[in-house]
Amino acid sequence: MYRVKAQGYGGSGPSIKPFESLDINKIKCEIEDLLTSDHSVQLYKIEADGSEISIPFEYYTYTKCEIPKEFKE
């Protein structure tokens, strides 16, 4: 089981109810949605005894580059 915890960016915003799932793809989608909506996110794996193990993750964004018309061939 995985658990995603989030709150408004910088810890100053309201916390969001933790999201839990066994499906890592659902977890990834939840993390992406939260990060794009400006939240601080933490990911945990839930052990059989109920303890949480923090899982580091990396998140990449892509920047769009536009070239002015006058410089295009």
- Give SS3 for 36: helix
Q: Is 53 exposed, middle or buried (0-12, 13-18, 19+ CB in 10 A)?
A: exposed
Q: What pLDDT digit, counting tens, does each position of 58-68 carry?
A: 887 776 767 67
pLDDT of residue 19: 95
Per-domain residue ranges for the chain? 2-71
CB-based contact 28:50 (threshold 8 Å):
no
Q: What pLDDT digit, counting tens, does each position of 1-51 carry?
A: 999 999 887 556 667 899 999 999 999 999 989 888 888 899 999 999 999
pLDDT of residue 68: 75
- Confidence (pTM): 0.74
